[in-house]
Amino acid sequence: MKTTKNSQRLFKQARRYLPGGVDSPVRAFGAVGGIPRFIVKGKGSKIRDADGNSYIDYVCSWGPLILGHADRRVVKAIRDAAGKGTSFGAATEMETRLAGMISAAVPSMQMLRFVSSGTEAAMSAIRLARAFTGRGRIVKFDGCYHGHSDSLLVSGGSGMATLGIPDSPGVTASTAMDTLVAGYNDLDAVRRLFAKYPDSIAAVIVEPIAANMGLAHPARGFLSGLRRLSKEHGALLIFDEVISGFRVAYGGAQALYNIKPDLTCLGKIIGGGLPVGAYGGRRDIMQMVAPSGKVYQAGTLSGNPLAMTAGITTLEILNDPSVYRRLEEKGELLQQGLAAAACGACLPLSIAREGSLLTVFFSAESVTDYASARRCDTSVFARFLRGMLEEGIYWPPSQFEAAFLSLAHSLRDIDATLRAARKVFKQL
Ligand SMILES: *Cc1c(COP(=O)(O)O)cnc(C)c1O
């Protein structure tokens, strides 16, 4: 058994001051049991914990680290920028540079605004959509995550389109009431919502490739249907590409599926491992944001120079088609190897993958929405997770998350991962 003595001690100390010992819930390993590892160092595909254990990391900070940990080019850029000052609260040229790179990659984002997290990006995009349309309601999908702002912390009743119920105490019923929920991939449910609430829906917000219920692909015609319906009914279509942006393709999911949303939310990769988010889209809509328009939104650290630098350096490296080919090859090897290992162990598994994003669902059926995701065997997943940790593989500690491959993951890393999976699958 790997020793976790130091992580245990640090976790105990942390719980005195931090609720649950962490600053973001999944980190506490609540869904899988065991001791959350306290990380001291990361380099490339690997991380090391406080007990000196080394792991091949498939969390990669939940997406931002597509180049791997402590990429030398990104670290150098951050170091150089830090020497010139860490924040000014005034305009810098770097913001325009990164905005230009993003707009070139994602042409639907004619203008954009930087914020400090994906949560802020989605929250601000919703406010803007409401202001632009003069309407109050929004449609979201069961199992899609758009950060933790009040009106987006609402999930569905039972797959059926229904009035939102708050997912968290502290979200008022009146806030949740304006959030309508449909099942992912259920275009009919969206049609019914537009029929039931004509002229009052400001926006439909969706993860074009869902990656927060585990990975689920949009069904054929789902995204184009959303595009058509929202246009017909005078509502905006918002793609939350905080995960998929610069991950599934340089231009994000909207490039893969060739759909043009009105607004897009980004985060994660565009900050190169530092706190960044962005929302943007049609010029006529974005011009409503203060100070060019009246929709207020601001941030002390927005467009932070270190974060801009890390983002620029990351995108410069990603702007090369061979990058996404390599990520696809690695993803394919991992998927095929895991499928073969499951087959060898007679384990019913369904693996969803898009490029370097991958979820192993402990279920025989493929996952198309949150209802099917929830039918997975989470107790077997928990044993899988703990077994993999023991073998030196740091997999996302929840069935409802995607694993992230980076450019730093080598074929040897993938081999080692498959060897571990073959062993662990047999024990399940
Ligand atoms: C991570 C995520 C967010 C929230 O971003 P934070 O930076 O954690 O606030 C929003 N939407 C999606 C799709 C995400 O994956």
What is the structure's pLDDT at 299? 98
Alpha-helical segments (H) within 18-92: 72-83
Rg of the Cα trace of the chain? Answer: 21
Q: Buried b vs exposed e over 368-393: b needs ≥16 C-beta within 10 Å?
A: bbbbbbbebbeebbbbbbbbbbbbeb
Residue nearest atom 10 of ligand 1, based on CA coordinates: 146
| Same domain? 186 vs 293 | yes
Annotated active-site residue in 55, 145, 184, 279: 145
| Same domain? 172 vs 215 | yes
Q: Is 268 a catalytic residue?
A: yes
CATH of the domain at 60: 3.90.1150.10
Boundary of a domain, candidates 292, 318, 344:
318
Residue 209: Cβ-neighbour burial (10 angstroms; 0-12, 13-18, 19+):
buried
- In this structure, are residues 424 and 67 in contact, taking their beta carbons and an 8 Å threshold? no
| Same domain? 376 vs 302 | no
Residue nearest atom 6 of ligand 1, based on CA coordinates: 118
| Same domain? 202 vs 106 | yes
Q: What is the mean pLDDT of residues 414-420?
A: 98
| Same domain? 246 vs 185 | yes
Q: How many angstroms separate the alpha carbon of residue 2 from the centre of ligand 1?
A: 32
Ligand 1 environment, Cβ below 6 A: 117-119, 122, 145-147, 207, 212, 240, 242-243, 267, 277
Mean pLDDT of the residues in the chain: 95
| Same domain? 239 vs 336 | no
Q: In this predicted model, what pLDDT tens digit does every residue of 170-228 receive, in sequence order?
A: 888 888 899 999 999 999 999 999 999 999 999 999 999 999 999 999 999 999 999 99
What is the structure's pLDDT at 161? 36
- For the chain, what percent of residues have pLDDT higher than 70? 97
pLDDT at 264 exceeding the cut of 50: yes
| Same domain? 201 vs 328 | no
pLDDT bucket at 159, cuts 50 / 70 / 90: very low
Q: In this predicted model, what pLDDT tens digit does every residue of 385-400 receive, in sequence order?
A: 999 999 999 999 999 9
Which atom from ligand 1 is nearest to the alpha carbon of 207? Answer: 13
What is the structure's pLDDT at 165? 59
| Same domain? 201 vs 63 | no
| Same domain? 210 vs 148 | yes
| Same domain? 65 vs 77 | no
- In this structure, are residues 362 and 399 in contact, taking their beta carbons and an 8 Å threshold? yes
Which atom from ligand 1 is nearest to the alpha carbon of 147? Answer: 4
Which atom from ligand 1 is nearest to the alpha carbon of 275? Answer: 7
- Residue 294, domain extent: 72-318
CATH of the domain at 206: 3.40.640.10
Q: How many angstroms separate the alpha carbon of residue 395 from the centre of ligand 1?
A: 19
How many domains does the chain fold into?
A: 2
Boundary of a domain, candidates 318, 353, 376:
318
| Same domain? 190 vs 259 | yes
The strand ranges marked E within 2-45 are 39-43
- Which amino acid makes up residue 373? A
pLDDT at 296 exceeding the cut of 80: yes
Boundary of a domain, candidates 286, 318, 350:
318
What is the structure's pLDDT at 59? 98
| Same domain? 228 vs 84 | yes
